[in-house]
């Protein structure tokens, strides 16, 4: 990988991923909302070995700016070998269950903005006829749970979209990766009690970079979440609907 675009670059997982690619001397283009954080990342990544780092502020919910920002990235990099979409938010499930406007905002951030950006990226990379698109979804998208079904539905929508996109782009030499982390200890989850199943952003980042290199279709991060979700998905609905998860 030479030229890498990271969207949602201020997230903990994105920062860890970008550091690993910096050590491989890649060129990085970072998109996120916080310009101060982006400037600090640029300095850090250059120290770690990135051949070049550029960045721009970007609000993923400004759908009208999506095509323009991808054009801007291409003007800078020339081509995109790898695009990683890392942005997302963790909804207030109770609020979203009672207020559709709140639910719609979460779907915009976690699903529709992703699909919009993927549309632009896929069109450009189809012309380029090579590259890789990777998207961070979640194990929450594997099955709807009463404690987070808004988040799970949004992530599940993206995972299903990626399956179809993978088939569409395969003849053009473009690989599509669905990254499904489990519990990750980040600022977004700071209010949660941590346990044995929790992973660090660094652990998840290593799973992502290794999985992309091996051209996996779906990466469970860490790996054991694949087994956990197989068990969760095997529980009959008549029983699962009674489980407080």
Q: Give the domain ranges of the chain.
A: 3-240
CA dist 60 to 4, 71, 85, Å? 18, 15, 10
Within the chain, which residues score under 50 in pLDDT? none
**Measured on CA atoms in the order 181, 213, 129, 61, is the torsion positive or negative?**
positive
pLDDT score for 245: 81
Specify the pLDDT at position 84. 98
Fold of the 3-240 domain: Rossmann fold (3.40.50)
Sign of the alpha-carbon torsion through 108, 123, 205, 226: positive
Tell me what pLDDT residue 16 has. 98
Q: Kindly report the pTM of this predicted structure.
A: 0.94
pLDDT at 157: 98
Give the pLDDT of residue 1: 63
- Residue 90: the pLDDT is 94
Q: How far apart are CA 240 and CA 184, in angstroms?
A: 24
């Amino acid at each position: 990988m030479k030229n890498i675009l990271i969207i949602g670059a201020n997230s903990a997982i994105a920062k860890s991923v970008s550091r690993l690619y910096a050590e491989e001397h890649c060129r990085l283009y970072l998109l996120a909302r916080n310009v101060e954080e982006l400037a600090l990342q640029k300095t850090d990544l250059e120290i770690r070995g990135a051949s070049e780092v550029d960045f721009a502020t970007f609000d993923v919910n400004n759908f009208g700016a999506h095509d323009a920002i991808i054009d801007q990235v291409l003007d800078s990099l020339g081509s995109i070998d790898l695009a990683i979409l890392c942005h997302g938010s963790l909804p207030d499930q109770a609020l979203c269950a009672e207020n559709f406007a709140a639910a719609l905002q979460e779907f915009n951030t976690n699903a529709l903005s992703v699909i919009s950006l993927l549309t632009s990226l896929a069109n450009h990379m189809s012309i380029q006829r090579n590259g890789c698109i990777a998207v961070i979804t979640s194990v929450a998208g594997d099955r709807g749970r009463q404690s987070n079904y808004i988040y799970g539905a949004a992530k599940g929508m993206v995972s299903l979209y990626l399956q179809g996109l993978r088939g569409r782009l395969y003849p053009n030499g473009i690989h599509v990766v669905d990254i499904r982390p489990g519990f990750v200890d980040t600022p977004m989850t700071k209010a949660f009690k941590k346990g044995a199943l929790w992973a660090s952003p660094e652990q998840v980042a290593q799973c992502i970079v290794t999985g992309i290199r091996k051209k996996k279709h779906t990466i469970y991060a860490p790996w054991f979440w694949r087994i956990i979700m197989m068990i969760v998905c095997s529980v009959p609905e008549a029983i699962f609907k009674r489980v407080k998860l």
